Amino acid sequence: MRITAVVTGGNRGIGLATAEEFARRGHRVVLVARNPAAANEAARLGADLVTGDLSTLKGIRATAEALARTCPRLDVLVHNAGVWPSARRLTEDGFEESFAVNHLAPFLLNHLLEDRLDRVVQVTAGLYVKGRADPARTPAGADFSAVRTYADTKLCNLALMPLWAERWRRRDITIDAVHPGVIRTGLGDRGGPVGLLLKAAKLLWKAPADGAAPVVRLALDRTGTGRYFDVDRETPLAPVAADPAAAGRLWAQAAELTGVA
């Protein structure tokens, strides 16, 4: 059966490789990317392109509206867009950039598109276990760290995945999350000596196609919901992401910050 697969951050890295695999299997692909130059990749794949900035609330809402016009139904929504900043940057809404892209964007898109959703896959990172989300400080990056903030924001996002699964259970919408492995992409690239060391280390990492494989496999697997996979192995969430009370507080905060009540 031919499905419609939407991939955010679909113009490079794991996102592009995921889109390529969906296209290779004959599915309709919709790329969501901030850079209009992604039109070249979309054309190569025979895919549709939705240009959208997922770092601002206005941009997220505009992206959702464009997707609603493009896709009467989203058979698969892959939340792949992610940011690993080397310095604290605030968006026009006053949020630290990776908090906005990694956490608030998937949360708000899920709300705005849920009447059209069937299957959601969240691309996450095993580093979430190192996260320490502080609702009072993390949103604006008051606790910013060039290393740990990425883990903090991935933790915020992943902790809500079981709540989405429960919310959608009676609507037959499924959601799972996957850490695709340590993959050679541009995520986290930076200048200086640290950047050179990272670039050298990445030569030993797996290619984007290797990271796309578990994402596509999970996207086409509707045998469960609320699951977390380390590549292809289902594993329980670490305690830091499995606290229902903490997850409830993060959900309430995200709802307030994005205005979805």
pLDDT, tens digit, 9 for 90 and up, residues 198-220: 444 445 456 878 899 999 999 99
What is the percentage of the chain residues whose pLDDT exceeds 70? Answer: 91
Q: For tokens 């209009």, what's the residue? A: 36
pLDDT tier for residue 186 given thresholds of 50, 70 and 90: low
Residue 197, pLDDT score: 47
* Cβ pair 4, 30 in contact under 8 A: yes
pLDDT tier for residue 185 given thresholds of 50, 70 and 90: low
> Highest mean pLDDT: which of 68-82, 176-190, 205-219?
68-82
Residue 184, pLDDT score: 53
pLDDT digits (tens, 9 = 90+) for 21-31: 999 999 999 99
Report how many domains make up the chain: 1
Is the sign of the CA dihedral 25, 29, 32, 36 positive or negative?
Answer: positive
Residue 261, pLDDT score: 74
- Nearest 5°: the CA angle 226, 231, 232 is 75
Residue 36, pLDDT score: 86
Q: Which amino acid is at 118?
A: D
Residue 208, pLDDT score: 76
What is the percentage of the chain residues whose pLDDT exceeds 90? Answer: 80
Return all residues near 116 (Cβ < 8 A) that are at least 6 apart: 67, 68, 71, 72, 73, 74
* Residue range 148-176: mean pLDDT, rounded: 97
Q: How many CA atoms, within 13 angstroms, populate the side-chain half-sphere of residue 83?
A: 25
Of 150, 164, 228, 229, which is the active-site residue? 150
* Residue range 103-132: mean pLDDT, rounded: 96
At 7 the three-state DSSP class reads: strand
CATH number at residue 198: 3.40.50.720
Q: Which amino acid is at 185?
A: T
* Cβ pair 195, 255 in contact under 8 A: no
**Helical segments of the chain, H only:** 13-24, 39-45, 57-70, 97-99, 105-113, 148-159, 161-168, 192-202, 208-219, 244-258
Residue 135, pLDDT score: 94
Q: Beta strands 227-230 and 233-234: pairing type?
A: antiparallel
Q: For tokens 């113009």, what's the residue? A: 11
Q: What's the chain's average pLDDT?
A: 91
Specify the DSSP element, H or E, that contains 234. Answer: strand 233-234
Q: How many CA atoms, within 13 angstroms, populate the side-chain half-sphere of residue 33?
A: 22
The boundaries of the domain holding residue 29 are: 4-258
Residue 37, pLDDT score: 85
Residue 183, pLDDT score: 59
Is 190 a residue whose pLDDT tops 60? no
pLDDT top residue among 25 and 194: 25
Residue 150 among the catalytic residues: yes
